[in-house]
Chain A
Amino acid sequence: MAVVTSPVGARRGFPNPFRDVAASRRQRTILVVLLVLAIGYPFFYQAIPDVLPRPSVNNLIVMVYYAILALGLNIVVGFAGLLDLGYVAFYVFGAYSTAFLASPIFGLHVSWWLVIVVAVAVAATAGILLGAPTLRLRGDYLAIVTLGFGEIVPQLVRNLDKVNINILGVQVIGPDFNLTGGPLGINPIDAPTLPIPGPWGRELVFSNGNPAGSLYLAMGLLVLSFFVCRRLRDSRLGRAWMAIREDETAAASMGINTVTTKLLAFALGASFSGLVGAFVGAYQTAVFPESFNFSVSISILIMVILGGMGSLRGVIVGAFVMTYVSQTLLPFLGGFIDGPVQSFGKQTGVGFLENFTLVAYNFLIFGVILALLMIFRPEGLLPAAARKAELHGEGVAAEATFGTDTSVADAATEFEEQIGGIAEAEGPGASPPGAPGAPGAPGAPAGEETAGGAS
């Protein structure tokens, strides 16, 4: 007799340690091919004909560093399940600590390879400091508080150009002490250099003057971040994050210290944006407060969800797709569409078509894509296995997981197993009605009812 549905443990999509060897080898091959392509890209991209939407090397750098940011936010949102709408705050900390340590503003010129360590540490500390007051807050309160931090921190750097602290008549700082350069930002920041002589000069400089070098540096950081994230995901800490994400109370009762675990999620997530802040500050050789606003936080969140929360490959793909579409594909398509639509508008006299540019509809297109994606593929482009199973699993138990408590799903699984047990116990031999069948099932109703229901 067939069991009605397969138990949850046998769901497809769950990682099976014995089956994955070939798959992981294939993945490694794909990764190596991608790396080789990316390393070669600065040399052959000129050869790609103009009629294809090819990203410039600088666009590729933006794609790569947004991927690192998405990996960092993925720790907070995807692994630990804490909705952070102000991720840009940590990015500010990274960028400005780089600017403080390697620019003329304080006359410090520390080597970038040292600065990056400091920037990561500063961002991680900021993560702990900003995370600490939010620990008691539940989901959406957390979202608004992090959003608040994301607004406060950029405003601080915008306004702290005339600091004047006078306590009890003693001038502690100031008057008009310029800490952050105000709206003008800090410019120029020293670029990372390596003392390797070659055709490029006495030393190798990684700034926007040397796109290929900067691309390799960014890719190196991305690969590093990817492996760190993977080790974190599979570590004890990573499992603790996911336990908290699924059910905080249950996680706490299993002995997980939720305070430390959540703070570590904030700190480690923030440290990646410190890394990117240090890279971007040095690569652009300047930081401006205007480049850190809410839309950055939201874009990174969208990348994480677009790719698939909790899935490392997913968030990288999400970041690549989103940056590529907005920076390369839309301007490229606009080159074809804008002209005809404008002339069509002139012929028909429709006012807003005369000045049509596709890039102006960037947000509209993204908005529609986001809503459609959420409706038709809420798990993202390359989802993590568990989440995919949760959203597209089979059977009653998986359906119960849909938007409800996991406890309901577990209860449903138990119920199914019971019913299945009854069916198996009673099915063969078609026990006569009234016979004391199914002794193992407590509270089993009359035999024919169950048997009828299960067959």
Chain B
Amino acid sequence: MLALRHFLSLALQTLRRNQIQAVLAMLGVTVGVGALVTSIALSRGAQQAINEQLMAVGANMIVVTSGNYQVERSQDAGAVEADHGSIEPSDSITPFLVRIPDSQQLGQSQNPRFLTADWPLSDAFSSNARTSMQSPRFIKAHYEDDPNAQHDHPTAAERLGDTMAGLGAAATLSVDDAQAILNQLDGVQYVASGVHENARVSIPAAGGRSWFTRLHGTEPDLPQIRRGWVFPHGRFFTQDHYRNTEQVIVLGKVVADRLFGADTNPVGETVELWNQPFEIVGVVGSSSWAAQPAAGDDQFDAIYVPLSTVHELLNLSMLNTITVTTRSAGETTAVAEQITAMLRQRHGISEQMPDDFIVRTQAEQVLGNGLPPQVARVVSGNMSTVDNITIEQISHSLERANATMMALLAGVAAVSLLVGGIGVANLLLLSVTQRTREVGLRMAMGARARDIASQFLIEAVILCLIGGLIGAAAGYLVSGSLEGLLQWSTSVSIVSMVVAIVVAAILGVLSGVYPAHKASQLDPIGALHHE
């Protein structure tokens, strides 16, 4: 188009000559394109936020726990009795038994998803299991393992005290196991081994103010696994701290708030643990709405100490847990299976014997929270089907809400674009009338109908493009300020801005078609003598 510059200056003349109409017409296009860009930015932002939150919650996390109180009994309840004779149903120690339907039944009937547990189930063996032709499966667990259960006798922790309880006989995982998982399995991103204790931290300086909480002896890589973590004060302990078994401690937000008050920076202060001084190097909080610090939770009502220090002080060598993240959330199930196979081999467990550890994905743990323990166990016993559904359901419901908002904004965009298009068409019709003589002159000079038509089409497109460019810039700014002022997640994509500008150009063509056709069909003589 060699004459483009000429037509560009003509379009700008039209703009200048009919400023109010041009501004109004372009305003519609601007608002439309701006709303389009903003709605795409908001939608993408929400999508990213959802993904980040799911990752922060730990959708890609696997936790391997020492010991296994959930021994599955298959087919015949009596066999369990033979294999694990140590757990006898009796009046004093009642094993933890939950009846669950087999998988076939689970697949066919939607409701109830699992049967209500009867617990204690003293006559479970005699009546239910033996007579049932459905061959129910049983999960058996040590009753002291149930955190919500009331006991009429002192538990191990109570009998032995915090410092003496140690890891117990069930500590089956070793530091070497953790190394093997990291080094030998595909799809593994980070591995952090851990020892978990209940402990009391106190501030000697403040007259011994103390807080009873959960202690995690762990590795410096843990923040890589806990993606939702933020450090309002200080930072996590380092490889140097870890290597030198230093007595440093990271407080969970809840612990820091209880001991020092909400707005105090406790980094550099000393707390006492196991009658030893520990220097505070950081406070850990959450960036995720899905996991806000609360008293009693496992992450923020907790303290973190280098595992090496814990091992040295308590003279221990084994682990309670190995926490693993996979490169993507979709790999967790496969990696979990590989971990199980590897650990069984490393621990020399024969085919008939149950695992001496438990491999669980984070989804199972999340699901277990807030459920009655027996139900939680049933759920986790059937996780292979449940975890995918649940994570999908969470994200689906979030996406549905997001889609509704997106549709609303897209509606605003569509209406604005329609109004803008009508405005541009109107402006051009006005311009055709004003410039009838000019059209006649151009025809006399040899302009063909299509030359005239393309002149007005170019004008319409230029007007809409100007509106569209302003709109795209406005959308960008609005998205930015929504993020800044309202903390909404937005993500402006270059593609969405390009698409919006292309939409504006198409709008220009559509709104220019009728005026352009009208101008091109003018009679040259009549047009020339038009006043």
A binds B: no
Residues of B within 8 A of A (CB): none
Query: Residues on A close to B: CB < 8 A?
Result: none
